[in-house]
Homo-oligomer: A and B are copies of this chain.
Amino acid sequence: MESETKSEIINATNRVLCEHGYAGLTMQKIADESAMTTAAIHYHFDTKEELLNAFLDILIERFKAKISSEATDPRKRLTAFLDGVFTPTTPDSDGFPVAIMELKAQAPFHDLFRERFLDLDEVMREVVADIVADGIDEGHFKQTDPDEVARLVTTTINGAHTRKVALGEPLDETRHVLENTLELHLGWQPGSEVVA
C-alpha cells in the first residue's frame, strides 16, 4: 500500500537514482529531492537498503498493474502487455529502466534485491506464457512452446532496458524487432488489428 509520504519518498528515490546512480544515492539527496528531512525519511526506512527494497516493491507492483489487461482475446492481451512494457506512461516512468538497472547491477551484492527481480521475472514469464497458451488453445497462434516464447520475450525486454540505459537507444527499436520475431513464433504479429 502506498501512502502519500511513501510515494513521495519513492518518487524522489527514482529521481536520485536516475540522476546520480546507486553510487551517488544518499538519504540526504533523497531528502533534498523530496523536500522532506532525512529524519522524516528515517522514520519510514531505517536503512538505505530497506528504502530500496520498498522502492523495488512499489515499482514491481506498479509494473504488474501496467502489464495486466482487461481484454480476453489473447492477441489483445499480448499487445497490451507490450504496450505496458515498452511505453512510458509518465515522464517519471521514462527513467524506470535507469533506476531498475542501477539496482540490477547491485543484485549480486544484495540478496533481497535479487529475490525481487526473480519475482518480477517470474510474473512476466507467467503472464506471457499464459497469453501464448490461451492463444494456441483458441487457434489464434501457431503451435509452439509457451514457456520458451515467454523466456525469449522477457530476455528481449531485459535487453531493451539495458540498451536504453547503456546505449541510450529508444525502447521502440527493440519492440519492433521483438514483434517481428513473435510473428515467426506465433504466426501473428502483435499490434496487428484484431477484428472481434
Contact = CB atoms under 8 A, between A and B. Distances in A.
A21 B109 contact: yes
What is the total number of copies of this protein in its complex? 2
Do most interface residues of chain A lie in helix, strand or loop, or is the interface mixed? Answer: helix
Given A156-B156, A159-B157, A167 B117 contact: yes
A184 to B, nearest CB: 4
A185 interface: yes
B121 A167 contact: yes
A173 to B, nearest CB: 7
Contacts of A163: 121, 155, 158
Interface in A82-102: 98, 101-102
A177 B162 contact: no
A23 interface: yes
A35 interface: no
B98 A108 contact: yes
B107 A104 contact: no
A158 B21 CA distance: 20
Given A105-B166, A184-B184, 19 more contacts: A20-B109, A21-B106, A21-B109, A22-B22, A23-B106, A104-B162, A104-B165, A105-B105, A107-B167, A108-B165, A108-B168, A114-B167, A151-B173, A151-B177, A152-B156, A155-B163, A157-B159, A181-B184, A184-B185
10 shortest interchain CB distances as A-B pairs: A159-B159, A158-B159, A155-B159, A104-B166, A23-B23, A105-B105, A184-B184, A158-B162, A107-B166, A117-B166
13 contacts: A20-B109, A22-B23, A23-B106, A101-B105, A107-B168, A114-B166, A121-B163, A121-B167, A151-B177, A155-B160, A155-B174, A161-B162, A181-B185
